[in-house]
Amino acid sequence: MQWREDLLQAWFSAEEVRCIRNIPLSFRDPPDALIWHFERGGQYTVRTGHEVARRVLLQQDEDDTTTNGGPIVAFDHVWKKIWKVRVPPKVRIFIWRALLNILPTKDNLGHRGIAELGGCVFCGADETVVHVLLQCPMAIASWSLFPAWAHFNTDSTEEFKMWFHGFAADHPTQELEKVMMCMWMLWFERNQMIWTGRHRSSTEIVSGAMYCLQEFQELHPPPKKHISRAKAKWLRPPTGAIKINVSGMFHVESSFGGVGLVVRNYTGAFLACKLVVLRGVSNPLHAKLVALREGLIYAAKWSNLDCHIEGDSQGALHSVQQGQADLSHLGCLIEDCKILLAKQERVYLRFTERKANGVATRLAHYALHSQEAAEWVTDPPVFLQDVLFSDVM
């Protein structure tokens, strides 16, 4: 299924044609539906609703700061950096609350109508987030123990959020981890002072923070990036069955895609293969879902046999195998696959590594540079013979 190029070129601009091509087509002609496009599956969830509301509030704050002549900070980049640092989860949550100015400081509690609670427990000044964590004499004494701290201004009257985002954007992750841990420890000591009337010295606060950070990182080492695996290899289907391998590829600059599929029997003998040229693809998953749909359609030719369809996209396979309806812009492709799968009782879906999907991948890559679809039956094309041979050796 493809858009009619003659009509697109006659009625729309080049940019409009590009956008329309990227809209997937279904053989079912499904009705339009309202979707929540902030969730991958198109269904509204409280989690994404909360996240969108939070981002709107943060954007408003950013706009206000820009209007008042303040610095423009790449907030999204900094938020991601904060959530990736190797500190205890409670520390990340604490910093998140501090950035949103929802810590129960005496200043914040006063704004909520709670009775007068006095000032900072260490110095008596107005207790705001920026005061407790940066400007209080206890905080200044603690930060003075950091060698690099002398080069950073803590006397600024700007909001804590702006200060912290500027620091996080300009300093390495290891430095950010130490600062976040020390800020949490300062807040802990503030609470200890309120409830017990006792607190530790600035030296003890910093050493305690560094000890907690070191202990946490030793118990939670970063995941290993390189894990040795046995080399993935194509496997023959069970006796009497056939296997269809499918693959989809996506070219970002042109928004073109290619689909390849190959059919082999239980001895590994070639039966057929096909490539499909896609003129409009929005992302890699789009191409993978079209490839899976093509494989399910092709499987109907061997309806009297067990058919194992293998693809190298876990995302595409998971989308088709889950029960919940998908309302995303790719939902029509997912529903197409579900319907085709339900009609064929002898078809089984399975994930395989891309290295074990070499024939279909080469076909899909070939399709990217082809002008039209092609199909081969009984005799494979020359450009596939070497990889077909290596699969059965």
Write out pLDDT tens, residues 77-93: 777 788 889 999 999 99
The proportion of the chain whose per-residue pLDDT surpasses 90, expressed as a percent, equals: 51
Residue 2's pLDDT band (boundaries 50, 70, 90)? confident
Write out the residue limits of the CATH 3.30.420.10 domain(s) in the chain.
Answer: 242-392
- Domain covering 242-392 assigned CATH 3.30.420.10 in the classification: yes
pLDDT in the model for residue 229 = 61
Assess whether pLDDT exceeds 50 at residue 231: yes
Token pair, residue 35, equals 């979707």
Q: Are strands 307-311 and 347-351 parallel, antiparallel or unpaired?
A: parallel
Return the SS3 of 374.
strand
Adjacent-strand bridge partners of 132: none
**pTM of the full structure:** 0.59
CA 178 to chain centre: 27
C-alpha–C-alpha distance, residues 22 and 1, integer Å:
12
Is residue 73 over pLDDT 60? no
Residue 99 class from Cβ within 10 Å (0-12 exposed, 13-18 middle, 19+ buried)?
A: buried
pLDDT at 129: 93
Q: What is the pLDDT of residues 354-381, one digit of tens each?
A: 999 999 999 999 999 898 999 999 999 9
Task: Say yes or no to pLDDT of 148 above 70.
Answer: no
Mean pLDDT of 246-272: 93
Give the pLDDT of residue 66. 42
Whether the predicted pLDDT of 113 surpasses 60: yes
Nearest-angstrom CA–CA distance, 161 and 181: 17
Residues contacting 242, CB < 8 A, separation 6+: 263, 264, 265, 266, 271, 302, 305, 306, 307, 308
Span 184-211, average pLDDT:
92
Angle of helix 173-196 relative to helix 160-170, nearest 10 degrees? 150
- Please give the share of the chain, as a percent, with pLDDT higher than 70: 90
Helix (H, G, I), strand (E, B) or coil at 136: coil
Residue 345: which residues within 8 A CB-CB, separation 6 or more?
none
When the pLDDT of each residue in the chain is averaged and rounded to a whole number, the result is 86
Gap between the Cα atoms of 298 and 121, Å rounded: 74
3-state class of 311 per DSSP?
A: strand
d(CA 112, CA 383): 73
Tell me what pLDDT residue 166 has: 81
